[in-house]
Amino acid sequence: MAFRTNPEYFEIGVIVLIGIVTKNGILIVEFANQRKMEGLSLRDAVTDAATRRLRPILMTSLATALGALPIAMALGAASRSRVPMGITIIGGLIFSLVLTLYVVPALYTYLSRSKLK
């Protein structure tokens, strides 16, 4: 019997991933904006925002990845068709965690500097 997957589940995983990554990025940018309004320099505000939001971002990512683990491992009845969704969520969260913690602050710093000029 051939192993068949359903591409719709993969697409659902991508939608979930986009929502979580967007939320994590918004957490850092919003906190950096608040710190800038308090008088911190741009670099200090971004560093402080990334440092202080690290724990909530890690907790959200870890909870979501662990929640998707049974889906990715194909546990349960008729779950083999949902494996792509679990793999998409877990792999995407690991990749996006690096992007959120390094690329978002870097882009925020770059875009904020160009706005000031």
Domain count, the chain: 1
Q: With cut-offs at 50, 70 and 90, classify the pLDDT of residue 70.
A: confident
Residue 7 sits at φ, ψ, to 5 deg, of -65, -20
The range of the structural domain enclosing residue 106 comes to 17-116
pTM over the 0.85 mark: no
Which residues have a Cβ under 8 Å from the Cβ of 20 and sit 6 or more positions away? 60, 61, 64, 93, 96
Question: Mind listing the pLDDT tens digit for each residue in 24-62?
Answer: 999 999 999 999 999 999 999 999 999 999 999 999 999
Per-residue pLDDT at 81 exceeds 70: yes
Question: What count of other Cβ atoms lies within 10 Å of the Cβ of residue 16?
Answer: 17
Residue 79 lies in a domain: yes
Residue 8 lies in a domain: no
Residue 107 maps to which CATH number? 1.20.1640.10
What is the pLDDT at residue 43? 92
What is the pLDDT at residue 1? 40
Taking the C-alpha atoms of residue 84 and residue 42, their distance in angstroms, rounded to an integer, is 40
Percent of the chain with pLDDT over 70: 88
